[in-house]
A and B are shown apart, each in its own frame.
Chain A
Amino acid sequence: MSANTYDAIVIGSGISGGWAAKELTQKGLKTIMLERGRDIKHIKDYVNANKDPWEFPHRGGRTQKMIEDYPVLKRDYPLNEVNLDYWASDKDSPYTETKRFDWFRGYHVGGRSLMWGRQSYRWADVDFEANLKDGIAVDWPIRYKDVAPWYSYAEKFAGISGNKDGLAILPDGDFMPPMDMNVVEKDVAKRLKEYYKDLRPMIIGRTANITVPHNDRTNCQYRNKCWLGCPFGAYFSTQSATLPAAMATGNLTVRPWSIVTKILYDKDTKKAKGVEVLDAETNQTYEYFAKVVFLNASTINSAWVLMNSATDVWDGGLGSSSGELGHNLMDHHLGVGASGRMEGYEDKYYFGRRANGFYIPRFANLGNDKRDFIRGFGYQGGASREGWSRDIAELNIGGQFKDALTEPGSWQLGMGGFGETLPYHDNKVTLDKTRKDKWGLPVVAIDAELKENELKMRIAIEKDAREILEAAGAKDVQTHSSNPYLGRGIHEMGTARMGRDPKTSVLNEWNQVWDAKNVFVTDGSCMTSAACQNPSLTYMALTARAADYAVKALKKNEI
């Protein structure tokens, strides 16, 4: 076995790549995990995690230099002073926006598992059956029962805290004890239960923050600084969870600064034999060989890798024979919601900074709830008391003004929707060969937009948010709706979808590329539809499931 030969190659080290590495190494495969960016070591490299607010010269804000350097990231909250180093450089890695698409990336070991929102929800049968029932796109080749045991497996290892709410739309899982709602949220949940007769339940968010110690990880300390990297390892990330487990097997090699430029495809065996890597520091090219390849470069970059591979056989790249590679790009659309004031709780407050909120699962287009669009949306939100940044209309400046601001203000209840986006063939990514990144590699062009179904849904998200908050007793309810663009949900999905037919899908029911059975794609690109739940838990489950299948198939010499 040559130095560059392994049993398995994993491309990417984010949520799904980390899971692939863990599963493959624990099953005995010598594995190399290739990461395009730098290494970030658990705890040691979380350089801002223990800083106090006053240690940041701009108190977390953005400078003009940052705004100039990050023309895409500046469009939303990710551009900030406290974890700037975790976001990919827009300048080194540009892309072409045929239509506006906000692509927020993490190019380092751990990928976006370091900065993710951690909300973790199972999908239900209604989600896996949706395309078939609506007669759109293609049917998922799997159902809830195929994934359910893998959800349990993923939840038990990742550590998902949540309440067993017994909701058909949002199946219960193997949870750690839930975080608590605050006093206002509890009352709101009670009122909504009465008002909507259980049709619009409000539950505590299910989150990948552990609430009891777990595998050498300390339970959540309620600092709400997750996205700086947690020194307690209290939320799931590659660094806190899958990477140490994979390293413990002695079977894993991690190679940072390794941009996979293509999968090496062998025409005779109709399989991949390895990958080509461009060293991002030295610009040298290397080849690595393995029996099986897991592609987990994130939705858009996994499509990019496939498009650059086996172009001597297929012009559009490996997996393009269906005509679907790079198509059906989805995200969750957001930026629509409402907030209002809650009265009567002036003698109540809270202790600790809970990095979680409440969740109202999908209710639209279920049962008798019929809409002028298909699918649905969920809401995430929370109740809290205003702080010093509130306006005090009757005061201007001075001691009285200052002392008033040192006390908490009124309780505010707010929430925002996460809406399902449909898989449209013409929402797509392609290669833009006219433009090169820092390493001379062609960039992607993204051509995707919200369409009629999503735009109608956004009107309903705004209207229903007002109705729900008013039903909850909120006063002065204000709604908002902004930036109807894809990408900002940071839930890219669908560019190499699973399906039942090689003519209409890129991957089969086991996440295998139809055209190269030893290549498995288990990040968001595999998704056939988007549902409206946060998707990462599903990637974890599908990755573990695919890895289990891959190793069994390898042993039987089927791949």
Chain B
Amino acid sequence: MNRRDAITRVGLILGGTVIGAEFFISGCKSTSKKVNELFDKDNVAFLNEVGETILPATSSPGAKAADVGNFMTVMVQDCYTPADQKIFIKGISDLDEASKKKFGKKFMEADANQRTELLTALDIEQKAYTKTKKPEDPNHYFRMMKELTLLGFFTSKPGATQALRYIAVPGKYDGNLPYKKGDKAWAT
């Protein structure tokens, strides 16, 4: 029955059909800085800061330590439909615009408190949007960023082994393990 388990995770925005190479990245990127066809190193740095704001270092490492910025660029390029890629990429500038509007500066220039305030507002916005969204409506870019941050971080080595607990070969099963508040969850 294990094989029947739905992989619900964070309801990753995957699927759909490939409509062909429809590229929307304008020529503002210098090729040397590119990390793949869609993203450059600045995007990775930006997304790492977005990730770190969503899942910051606490008593365990944060999303940046897991390089979720890079993970997001891989996932969006390889796994997203062209339509979702477009939303995600536009989301990077939308996020910056929102920051400028709110604080008069770009996201990368905002301080940690401002970043948290901004992304909290965006999360409230995406939750409200997603609640009433019809399946055919476009996805919200911040939901994508949040989902990819969670997936990328909690399945990474620092996330799985330091924020969570991971044992590659448990060797036994105990179905009645005492649990006390604060004990970490199993990574898988």
Contacts and interface: CB of A to CB of B under 8 A. Distances in A.
A186 B182 CA distance: 25
B169 A223 contact: yes
A352 B173 contact: yes
B3 A227 contact: yes
Contacts of A59: 151-152, 155
Interface string B99-129: 0000000000000000010011001100100
A516 to B, nearest CB: 36
Contacts of B168: 50, 52, 223
Interface residues of A, number: 69
A63 interface: yes
B74 A356 contact: no
B124 A398 contact: no
A352 B170 contact: yes
A248 interface: no
A221 B169 contact: yes
A403 B181 CA distance: 11
B181 A407 contact: yes
Contact of B172 (A64, A115, A222): A222
A381 interface: yes
B66 to A, nearest CB: 8
B179 interface: yes
B124 A222 contact: no
B160 interface: yes
A472 B118 CA distance: 44
The 10 closest A-B pairs by CB, nearest first: A182-B175, A352-B173, A352-B170, A349-B179, A380-B1, A396-B123, A408-B185, A351-B174, A63-B78, A183-B176
A351 B2 contact: no
Contacts of A348: 176-179
Interface in B154-168: 154-157, 160, 163-164, 166, 168
22 contacts: A52-B166, A61-B12, A61-B75, A63-B78, A64-B80, A74-B15, A119-B1, A182-B176, A183-B176, A223-B168, A224-B2, A347-B179, A348-B176, A353-B173, A355-B2, A389-B154, A396-B120, A396-B123, A397-B119, A397-B120, A406-B164, A406-B185
Contact of B53 (A183, A224, A382, A398): A398
B18 A64 contact: yes
Nearest to B162: A406
Contacts of A475: none
Interface string A346-382: 1111111111110000000000000000000000111
Nearest to B12: A61
B139 interface: no
Nearest to B156: A54
A353 B1 contact: no
B58 to A, nearest CB: 5
Contact of A54 (B10, B56, B119, B160): B160
Contacts of A355: 2
A409 B186 CA distance: 11
Contacts of B9: 389
Contact of B185 (A57, A80, A407): A407
Given A63-B78, A182-B176, A399-B56, A388 B150 contact: yes
B176 to A, nearest CB: 4
Nearest to B158: A54
Contacts of B183: 349, 407-408
Contacts of B127: 396
Interface string A270-283: 00000000000000
A385 interface: yes
Contact of B163 (A396, A398, A406): A406
Contacts of A50: 168
A65 B53 CA distance: 31
B146 interface: yes
Contacts of B119: 396-397
Given A356-B2, A398-B120, A405 B78 contact: no
A233 to B, nearest CB: 14
Contacts of A171: none
B79 A61 contact: yes
Contacts of A180: 173-175
Interface string A384-417: 0101110000001111011101111100000010
Interface in A53-82: 53-54, 57-65, 67-68, 74, 77, 80
Contact of B160 (A53, A77, A349): A53
Contacts of A507: none
B135 interface: no
B56 A402 contact: yes
A141 interface: no
A349 B177 contact: yes
A226 B14 CA distance: 25
A17 interface: no
A350 B157 contact: no
A80 B79 CA distance: 12
Interface in A331-345: 334
B73 to A, nearest CB: 11
B180 interface: yes
Interface in B35-88: 53-56, 58-60, 62, 74-75, 78-81
B184 interface: yes
A183 B180 CA distance: 16
Given A67-B15, A182-B175, A185-B175, A405 B150 contact: yes
A137 interface: no
A117 interface: yes
